[in-house]
Amino acid sequence: GQQVMQIPQYQHVQEGEDFTTYCNSSTTLSNIQWYKQRPGGHPVFLIQLVKSGEVKKQKRLTFQFGEAKKNSSLHITATQTTDVGTYFCRNEKLTFGTGTRLTIIP
């Protein structure tokens, strides 16, 4: 079946440092979505990317869809403690990625 891998699995950063998680699909995607799950919470939708090479920004978050539509990335600039959580990508088959858990050192 379709696999959606994310790297890294874990990331510990000092507050104020940048963070990036990468999402890689074994097949070409029609769209990709990103979700954030806070510790003890449920996943919350962040954004959807549809076009090849698309870049979208939400304040300190930058989302990118690869030219070949098989990978995507989420970059957070100057992390804050509120960014703590696990970030998942999701393909159009409703398959979630393996997730990247972000922890922040104050």
Question: What are the tokens at 58?
Answer: 């939400």
Residues numbered 58 to 77 that lie near other proteins (CB under 8 A) are: none
Report yes or no: 19 and 102 within 8 Å, Cβ to Cβ.
Answer: yes
The distance of closest approach from Cβ of residue 16 to other proteins in the complex, given in angstroms and rounded to an integer, is: 26
CB under 8 A: which stretch of 12-20, 37-45, 51-59, 62-70 binds other proteins?
37-45
Site of interaction with other proteins (CB under 8 A):
1, 30-31, 33, 35, 41-45, 48, 50, 88, 90, 92-99, 101
